[in-house]
A and B are shown apart, each in its own frame.
Chain A
Amino acid sequence: MKVSRLTEKIKESNAKGRTALVPFLPGGYPDLDKFWDEIIELDKNGADVIEIGMPFSDPVADGPVVEAASLKSLENGVNLKWIISGLKGCRDKIDAGVLLMGYLNPVLQYGIEQFAKDAQEAGVDGLIIADMPYEEGVEIKKILAEHDISLVPLVGLNTSRERMKLYAKDATGFVYFVSVLGTTGDRDTLPEDVKKGLEMAQELFDIPVALGFGLKRPEQLVALDGLVDAAVFGSALIRHVEAGKSCREFMEIWK
């Protein structure tokens, strides 16, 4: 597999002396009409990688904000086909890397082979499956790799060195470090041992390390200088959009 566009985009940003920005919005949120405009807006305003959520009825790793937004998207009629075909229609207007994030079952029902093929054609660079640890993802990772799609691993504060090495040996794109033992959702402070975990991830992975879950303000990253190549934010952005404010305004804070 060639070097992932996700890696390239994050490194390009880091080379300019900045932490890469990875905003997250559930597909079809806040509504079907506005969604792709918001994505293009994020791209124009500094997003290096854009994460699009694949809504699922039972999102166990998500907190209340992402869950409510995802369920709203489902009510709006969003499905994987809508996301993939919509992306295909506007991918040439998006410079950022594009990542899909969700749960395994909708992807399984779509069909892994078909999903990989259609996602590649739509310009998807990576996939995060929140309920698929290393052991269950071996076969899927191979299929995705054949279509130049990275299966981005999630690791966290309780991931042992041994398991982190397992992920590190064949990971592509970037590694997503979960900042808390908990679900998605913005928090005022990050746990103290995040730094230690990030140091281990930086040591073991030769791809960029992104920090996510709980990010609300850029100041949260100050104490982690040099350890975070990319910052992922979802709940804070969803709240912002929900309040009727623009993605551009939100990105201003992080630039």
Chain B
Amino acid sequence: MKKGYYGEFGGQFVPELLMPPLLELEEAMKTIMKSAEFCDEYTRLLTDFIGRPTAMTHCRNLSRELGFNLWLKREDLAHTGAHKINNTVGQALLTQMMGKTTLLAETGAGQHGVATACAASLLDLDCEIYMGAVDVERQSHNVKRMELFGAKVVPVESGTKTLKDAINAAMRKWIADQETTHYCFGTAAGAHPFPLLVRELQSIIGREAKAQFVEKNGKLPDYVVACVGGGSNAIGMFHDFVPEESVKIIGVEAGGTGEPGCYNSAPISLGTTGVLHGMNTKLLQTEEGQILPSHSVSAGLDYPGVGPEHVYLHDSGRVEYAIINDGQAINAFKTMCRKEGILPALESSHAVAWALENKDSIPAGSNVLVNLSGRGDKDMDIFEKYTAEYGN
């Protein structure tokens, strides 16, 4: 495959002014990230700071009802409450070892912003977070957490004022400050080498999950399921399972309200091929190539593009991508709380919902392993607003 590509997807579609820092990052991945110094320190931080390995939980009550075994990989138990921290601590360490002083990031739901701010604080780096003004409002709790960690949060007022606009603003800032600053990209998307870098740092999820599952059950799971926005928790979960042909892998995109003609966040299932944020991928766009607003009840999935490796995995037939709408996700959110005592992020609720919605087609006795990418405390305001509008 061509460097930086997954089939025909990926690439480096950025202004020339961003090529030098991208090439510098590629080089740092080949040298610094392979060094014993980096590997030892990153491994130490994964254990001592992030709290890995995260648990794997068998959902006993739901499994009885569903007729198959539902397992959760508990990234919600990682420090700061989501898988995002695996990536940001890795990139922050890389930044420090590259001799740069500032972490720049964009965030949608705020989880990546919190994780970046936290990693910056740990490694004594300056931190600047770009966040769409709409997301600043709907994730105010996370904004406060970022600020507590010492980050400067910059609301982005342009465009749709959501994640895609925050990415645009962060890329602009990176052009200007590239000498001192590393752009800590939040998902396995964007220009090469970001999809590769983020996958490398997140693949700890799947490696651990596979080992834990085999240790508990003496075999591999039948299904591995994860939600897909940009796609970092999913690619991290899937990577080690992709070569295992017996495992069915399911990525779950957000269908928005599910009404005909509504905005959604399902570019693999409902989008077309195009170029945005440095990559050739599937996008929600008009026939003329203008990017459409996306929608999901989960701010973390609300993105009109997706990481290029997911599109490749879809087109090659290895991974099946399904759609879950807002209502189904909210139902899974409540079900998980009431039946298992676990408050999942609305992002992860989409993945849980896939298992609930497909209970009739999943063979009895199967083992379904869902990546619970984060915890849902951050989503309580959205949940309350949703139930006020649509009923409980």
Q: Do A181 and B164 contact each other (CB < 8 Å), given the known contacts A130-B15, A133-B14?
A: no
Say yes or no: A74 contacts B11, CB within 8 Å: no
Say yes or no: A105 contacts B274, CB within 8 Å: yes
Choose from A57, A104, A132, A136 the contact partner of B159 (Cβ within 8 Å).
A57
Say yes or no: A178 contacts B290, CB within 8 Å: no
Say yes or no: B16 contacts A156, CB within 8 Å: yes
Q: Hey, which chain B residues are within 8 Å of A106, CB to CB?
A: 288-290
Bound-complex Cα distance A133 to B178 (A): 17
Q: Hey, which chain A residues are within 8 Å of B276, CB to CB?
A: 58, 105
Q: Mark A134-159, 1 if CB is under 8 A from B, else 0.
A: 11100000000000000001111111
* A80 nearest CB neighbor, chain B only: B288
Bound-complex Cα distance A60 to B278 (A): 10
Bound-complex Cα distance A183 to B173 (A): 9
Bound-complex Cα distance A136 to B274 (A): 14
Say yes or no: B13 contacts A136, CB within 8 Å: yes
Say yes or no: A58 contacts B17, CB within 8 Å: no
Say yes or no: A133 contacts B175, CB within 8 Å: no
18 A-B pairs besides A79-B288, A109-B287, A163-B20 with CB distance below 8 A are A57-B159, A57-B291, A58-B159, A58-B291, A104-B275, A105-B275, A105-B289, A106-B289, A108-B274, A130-B15, A131-B15, A132-B13, A133-B15, A136-B11, A157-B17, A159-B20, A181-B17, A181-B175
Bound-complex Cα distance A74 to B285 (A): 14
Bound-complex Cα distance A154 to B14 (A): 11
Say yes or no: A105 contacts B285, CB within 8 Å: yes
Q: Hey, which chain B residues are within 8 Å of A134, CB to CB?
A: 16
Say yes or no: A108 contacts B289, CB within 8 Å: yes
Q: Hey, which chain A residues are within 8 Å of B291, CB to CB?
A: 57-58, 105
Bound-complex Cα distance A60 to B172 (A): 6
- B residues touching A (Cβ–Cβ < 8 Å)? 11-17, 19-20, 158-159, 164-165, 168, 171-172, 175-176, 178, 274-278, 283, 285, 287-291
Q: Hey, which chain A residues are within 8 Å of B11, CB to CB?
A: 136
- A residues touching B (Cβ–Cβ < 8 Å)? 56-61, 63-64, 67, 71, 74, 79-80, 103-110, 130-136, 153-160, 163, 178, 180-183
11 pairs, CB–CB < 8 Å, chain A vs chain B: A57-B290, A58-B159, A60-B277, A61-B172, A103-B275, A105-B276, A106-B290, A153-B16, A155-B16, A157-B17, A163-B19
Query: How distant is A50 from chain B, measured CB to nearest CB, in Å?
Result: 22
Q: Hey, which chain B residues are within 8 Å of A155, CB to CB?
A: 16
Q: Hey, which chain A residues are within 8 Å of B14, CB to CB?
A: 60, 131, 133
Q: Hey, which chain B residues are within 8 Å of A183, CB to CB?
A: 172, 175-176
Choose from B16, B171, B290 the contact partner of A60 (Cβ within 8 Å).
B171
* A155 nearest CB neighbor, chain B only: B16
Counting chain A CB atoms within 10 Å of each CB, which of B11, B176, B275, B276 scores highest?
A: B275
* B165 nearest CB neighbor, chain A only: A58
Q: Hey, which chain A residues are within 8 Å of B172, CB to CB?
A: 60-61, 63, 182-183
Bound-complex Cα distance A136 to B192 (A): 12
Bound-complex Cα distance A103 to B175 (A): 17
* A130 nearest CB neighbor, chain B only: B15
Q: Hey, which chain A residues are within 8 Å of B12, CB to CB?
A: 133, 135-136
Q: Hey, which chain A residues are within 8 Å of B277, CB to CB?
A: 58, 60
Bound-complex Cα distance A155 to B20 (A): 11
Closest 8 CB pairs of A and B: A109-B289, A106-B289, A105-B289, A57-B290, A182-B176, A61-B15, A57-B291, A60-B171
Say yes or no: B13 contacts A131, CB within 8 Å: yes
Q: Hey, which chain B residues are within 8 Å of A156, CB to CB?
A: 16-17
Q: Hey, which chain B residues are within 8 Å of A104, CB to CB?
A: 13, 275
Choose from B20, B164, B171, B288 the contact partner of A158 (Cβ within 8 Å).
B20
Q: Hey, which chain B residues are within 8 Å of A158, CB to CB?
A: 17, 20, 178
Choose from B164, B178, B290 the contact partner of A56 (Cβ within 8 Å).
B290
Q: Hey, which chain A residues are within 8 Å of B159, CB to CB?
A: 57-58, 71
* A78 nearest CB neighbor, chain B only: B288
Choose from A108, A109, A133 the contact partner of B16 (Cβ within 8 Å).
A133
Bound-complex Cα distance A104 to B11 (A): 13
Choose from A60, A109, A181 the contact partner of B176 (Cβ within 8 Å).
A181
Say yes or no: B175 contacts A107, CB within 8 Å: no
Q: Hey, which chain A residues are within 8 Å of B285, CB to CB?
A: 105, 109
Bound-complex Cα distance A110 to B275 (A): 13
Query: How distant is A161 from chain B, measured CB to nearest CB, in Å?
Result: 12
Q: Hey, which chain A residues are within 8 Å of B175, CB to CB?
A: 61, 181-183
Choose from A60, A80, A181 the contact partner of B168 (Cβ within 8 Å).
A60
Choose from B19, B165, B289 the contact partner of A110 (Cβ within 8 Å).
B289
Say yes or no: B275 contacts A178, CB within 8 Å: no
Query: How distant is B6 from chain A, measured CB to nearest CB, in Å?
Result: 15
Q: Hey, which chain B residues are within 8 Å of A135, CB to CB?
A: 12
Say yes or no: A67 contacts B158, CB within 8 Å: yes
Choose from A67, A110, A160 the contact partner of B20 (Cβ within 8 Å).
A160
Say yes or no: B289 contacts A107, CB within 8 Å: yes
Q: Hey, which chain A residues are within 8 Å of B19, CB to CB?
A: 133, 159, 163
Q: Hey, which chain A residues are within 8 Å of B283, CB to CB?
A: 105
